[in-house]
Structure 1
Amino acid sequence: MLMAFLGDIHANLPALKEVLADAQKNKVAKIYHTGDLVGYGPYPNETVEFIKDNKIEGVLGNYDDGVAFKKPTCGCDYKTEKEHEIGTKSLTFTVKTLTYGNQELLKSLPQSIKFEVAGKKFFLFHGSPERLNEYLTPDLFPARFDKLIEDYPEIDVFVFGHTHYPFYFTHRGRHFLNPGAVGKPKTKDPRAIYALAKVEEDTLAVNFRLISYPYEITASEIRKNGLPEELARIILGEVTGG
């Protein structure tokens, strides 16, 4: 069975459309998202509705949580005063723009999903099972990943997002997959990225797909909506995303 995993879309509809088109071209049987549908990008309503209309199942991200429940912050790990300023403007825009119906759709997202494919048990979440905004990164290997295995010994495949960096590895017979970010890169490569996973009884093979899309359309809409210029430059690959 061929599956697609994508995440951290961040209200970037043009990127999401091209990713879905590529997944469909590859004839995937099922698509899941790891959360953060909104935030930073100019298309929060359109993105939530596109996910719903295309029946893409997924989980609540920390930004989705902050917006849907109108929290004072998105739970993001901002390091500088400038990042805080950009984040506040983005959160304010997203809360103001999102319709009540789409806010309710975000509220309805589960914090995790478990399912089974070809005898393999999957566990899908955004940051970690305990915290929406925990960063599970390879530099935490092996201790943090050992803890996941010990806490969830029945799980074969852990799928999560939040870091915006794609990676995949196996450890103690388990699989750990982060599909990266569709809508807000943290490198100067502006392309969207997602993961194709071929799941069979004896194997799981992961292929990351880098997808070009009309970046300038998203950047133009960011500027048109009065969002910070830095967000447009991140989309265009001119600066590294925070």
Structure 2
Amino acid sequence: MDKKIEQLGTLTGKVLLFGGVYSNLQALEKLKQIAESIGIPPENCIGTGDIVGYCAQPEETVQLLKIWGAKSIVGNVEIQLREGAEDCGCDFREGSRCDGFSQLWYPFAQSKLSKNSLHYLETLPDHFQFNYAGKKVTVVHGAFENVSQFVYKSTPWEYKEPTFKATKSNVIIAGHCGLPFQHKKDDKLWLNPGVIGMPANDGSPQVWYCILDDSLGNFNHKHHSLDYNHQLTSQLMRNGLLPEEYARTIITGIWDNTEILPPIESGLQGFGISF
């Protein structure tokens, strides 16, 4: 299938980047409040996909994003939902704990989404491209050729390079892996803003996003942590239909397992985030 790449032209001013809302309405509400409080317009708020996921309010989350007017590409979850697929397409190992959990939260999300929300997901592109502070930027979910590819900071550059080459970009903004990081080599930057729907396995219930700033004429970026009503999010997830383990992670900031993580990232569990 041909990729749908939406060209955003040249963006100026602050740009808010976020990923993995995962049906976490409370986190999205707080992020919207932050964007409005610092004057970032909706068209400068960009998501890396997986709007729908592990938490309890998929319909409300999609509708809030639509009303807000922030931009998002599709993640693997949106692709699967709009195609009526039977699994989330997350590329979890078959029989793993994450695979087992997905057999709970994915059909739950399917059962809650309205036709209106599914139609909205159908309008989302595979990628964004824009120019910012003299850099060509492409937004992907996992990687350009594979929407569900897990790319981490420790992932060798040789696995990141094809996305730069395919898109002819200086900066790649990516999601999917659930962890915020930046990896720079020469004049190229792979930037993951993190996700707002789940903690980053760092032992804190806070979640992560990123802001680009061109006020000094350069391409500047900074990660930020986000406090929100995680107690309510966790409470809503304890509905007997979603994994209890994920509801617990919302509180503890510790993932139930690290089976998708490379050794370096796995070993950093509970040690906080540093850049």
What TM-score, normalized to structure 1? 0.92
Deviations 1:26-61 (A, max 9, x none): 322411000000011111111111111111111000
1:69-126 deviation line (CA, Å, top 9, x unaligned): 1212111243454332211011110001111110111122111111223332211111
Q: Secondary structure at the match of 2:61?
A: helix
Q: Structure 2 CA distance, aligned partners of 1:124 and 1:167?
A: 15
Aligned to 1:198, which of 208, 213, 234? 213
User: Structure 1 residues 66, 162: closer, same or farther in 2, change over 3 A?
Assistant: same
- Alignment check: 8 A CA contact 2:145 2:163 kept: no
3-state DSSP of counterpart to 2:222:
strand
Secondary structure, in 3 states, of the residue corresponding to 1:75?
coil
| 1:82 to 2:97 alignment | yes
**Kept in 1: contact 2:143–2:151 (CA 8 A):** yes
Q: What does 1:51-66 align with in structure 2 at a 5 Å threshold?
A: 51-66=65-80
1:6 to 2:21 alignment = no
- Structure 1 match to 2:30: 18
Contact 1:15 1:213 in 2 (8 A): yes
CA contact (8 A) 1:120 1:201 kept: no
- Superposed, 1:47-196 pairs within 5 Å as 47-79=61-93, 80-153=95-168, 155-187=169-201, 188-196=203-211
Q: Distance in 1 between matches of 2:136 and 2:185?
A: 15
1:236 matched to 2:251? The reply is yes
1:201 Cα shift? 7.9
Runs of 4+ in 1 over 6 A off after TM superposition: none
Q: In structure 2, how many angstroms separate the alpha carbons of the residues matched to 1:174 and 1:189?
A: 30
Q: Is the 8 A contact 1:185 1:241 kept in 2?
A: no
**What amino acid does structure 2 have at the position aligned with 1:189?**
S
The correspondence of residues 10-49 of structure 1 with structure 2, limited to 5 A, is 10-29=22-41, 30-49=44-63
Measure, in 2, the Cα distance between the counterparts of 1:239 and 1:149: 32
Cα RMSD, aligned residues only: 1.9
What is the DSSP-based 3-state SS (H/G/I as helix, E as strand, rest coil) of the residue aligned with 2:92? coil
Cα deviation, residue 238, structure 1:
5.9
What is the CA–CA distance in structure 1 between the aligned matches of 2:74 and 2:91, rounded to whole Å? 17
- Measure the CA separation in 2 of the matches of 1:131 and 1:161: 12
Change in CA separation of 1:113 and 1:85 when aligned onto 2, cut-off 3 Å:
same
Q: Is the 8 A contact 1:127 1:135 kept in 2?
A: yes
Conserved? CA contact 2:18–2:48, under 8 Å: yes
User: Which residues of structure 2 form unaligned runs of 5+?
Assistant: 1-12, 258-275
Aligned residue pairs, count: 241
Q: Distance in 1 between matches of 2:135 and 2:215?
A: 8
Secondary structure at the residue paired with 1:208? strand
CA contact under 8 A between 2:17 and 2:46: conserved in structure 1?
yes
